[in-house]
Amino acid sequence: MSLDHRLTPEHEELRRTVEQFANDVVAPRIAEHYEAHTFPYEIVREMGKMGLFGLPFPEEYGGMGGDFLALCLAIEELARVDSSVAVTLEAGVSLGVTPIHRFGTEAQKREWLPRLCAGEQLAAFGLTEPGCGSDAGGTRTTAVRDGDHWVINGSKSFITNSGTDITGPITVTARTGPDGAISTLIVPSGTPGLTVAPGYSKVGWNASDTHELSFTDCRVPLANLLGDEGRGYAQFLTVLDEGRIAFAALATGLAQGCVDQSTAYARTREAFGRPIGANQAIQFKLADMEARAHTSRTAWRDAASRMLAGEPFKKAAAVAKLHSSDAAVTNAREATQIHGGYGFMNEYPVARMWRDAKILEIGEGTSEVQRMLIARELGLTS
């Protein structure tokens, strides 16, 4: 495997395009949505027209024919400006569309992928439950055969993109069969028996869509089984391994955004007759912040390179996710400190970044879970 993580001209062109979109389109609009807790449909619509939701999927299904690296580059550039928009793309593609593309039948792909790749619909991934987070094997939601249908009962928590006006398929893990093995089912939004609770009141990611879902005798056709029955646990482990790389890219974007905002502020903010950036204490803070962002970027690109080369990447993905989420939280704290009182004002992007950072140590596998995975890959067991 090559250790050169520099981008190809095609990847660099994509990165620059998304960077410009984030600066010109997302940045001027997102604060209003964030404070109002509203979903930025117009931004998502434009992302769809750009092809961002179809980046890693084949053209025959309406995708852009790109790869996973391209998706992660787009996520990082969006997250440099706003994490709500970035996680809408990350969850919609990495967790939402990927299971259907990876495990779906040809009929399922033809039915769902074109609209998802175009951003006309968003997909959601229903894994976490009220009493079952890191221990995803403890799934309690059930699906029982009844004639030509599955009958689903249970609930899911913290599900991104699950309650928008354009939500389409929701992939749901549930116990099926007498042995209680976990399978994955596609539940279209609006299916009778599926109830979407009001949106959560969240600390951050306020312009993203997150809901609790409940299923009461919710019926879907047997043909909505995604992949083989009883293989749902293995499927979502694969999806989460890849998703952690995308999540690391998002965290890297936030960490870098903190550097960008703080550097610009340090150049213009004066105290005691000179810019605060002339003070070595501020310079060293920014140097450490840049080092964290750079290392995080190297880590997720290394994991992505291993994945695309067909090499084992579980440990690399866990390392990237662990390091980048820690970097994001630390950089957000330092950025707020550099901004002083203004860092506590929501009109400044770093205040939004501070609120958005903490979830990065929790979502798609907590930092503790990442350490468990890394230790296991080192051959340590308990």
pLDDT digits (tens, 9 = 90+) for 267-302: 999 999 999 999 999 999 999 999 999 999 999 999
- Is 364 noted as a catalytic residue in this protein? yes
- Active-site option among 212, 229, 364, 368: 364
Matching CATH number, 124-230, of 2.60.40.290, 3.20.20.140, 2.40.110.10, 3.40.50.720: 2.40.110.10
User: What DSSP line would sit under 44-88, residue for residue?
Assistant: HHHHHHHTGGGTTS-GGGT-----HHHHHHHHHHHHTT-HHHHHH
* pLDDT, position 163: 97
Q: Is 17 exposed, middle or buried (0-12, 13-18, 19+ CB in 10 A)?
A: middle
- Average pLDDT on 35-47 reads 97
The pLDDT mean for the chain works out to 95
Instruction: Give the closest residue to 327 by CA, choosing from 262, 257, 266.
Output: 257
| H or E segment to which residue 221 belongs | strand 210-221
* Angle subtended at Cα 10 by Cα 9 and Cα 12, rounded to the nearest 5 degrees: 65
pLDDT digits (tens, 9 = 90+) for 149-207: 999 999 999 999 999 999 999 999 999 977 889 999 999 999 999 999 999 999 999 99
* pLDDT, position 327: 98
Residue 339 predicted with pLDDT over 80: yes
pLDDT tier at 6 (50, 70, 90 boundaries)?
A: confident
Strands 194-196 and 210-221: antiparallel
* pLDDT, position 133: 65
- Average pLDDT on 22-44 reads 97
* pLDDT, position 237: 87
345 contacts: CB under 8 Å, gap ≥ 6: 351
User: What percent of the chain lies above the pLDDT cut of 90?
Assistant: 92
pLDDT tier at 382 (50, 70, 90 boundaries)?
A: low
pLDDT digits (tens, 9 = 90+) for 79-88: 999 999 999 9
Domain 233-377 falls in which CATH fold?
Butyryl-CoA Dehydrogenase, subunit A; domain 3 (1.20.140)
* pLDDT, position 26: 98
Give the Cα separation of 200 and 320 in Å (integer). 28
User: What percent of the chain lies above the pLDDT cut of 70?
Assistant: 97
Residue 58 predicted with pLDDT over 50: yes
CATH number for the domain whose boundaries are 9-122: 1.10.540.10
Cite the residue boundaries of each domain of the chain with CATH code 1.20.140.10. 233-377
Cite the residue boundaries of each domain of the chain with CATH code 2.40.110.10. 124-230
Cite the residue boundaries of each domain of the chain with CATH code 1.10.540.10. 9-122
pLDDT digits (tens, 9 = 90+) for 127-153: 999 877 666 667 899 999 999 999 999
pLDDT digits (tens, 9 = 90+) for 107-132: 999 999 999 999 999 999 999 998 77
Residue 212 predicted with pLDDT over 70: yes
pLDDT digits (tens, 9 = 90+) for 213-265: 999 999 999 999 999 999 998 898 889 899 999 999 999 999 999 999 999 99
* pLDDT, position 306: 95
Residue 10 predicted with pLDDT over 70: yes
* pLDDT, position 78: 98
Alpha-carbon 268 to chain mean position: 33
pLDDT tier at 1 (50, 70, 90 boundaries)?
A: very low
Instruction: Give the closest residue to 134 by CA, choosing from 366, 371, 367.
Output: 366
| Token pair listed for 204 | 């951050």
Q: Is 133 exposed, middle or buried (0-12, 13-18, 19+ CB in 10 A)?
A: middle
Reduce the DSSP state of residue 188 to 3 states and report it.
strand
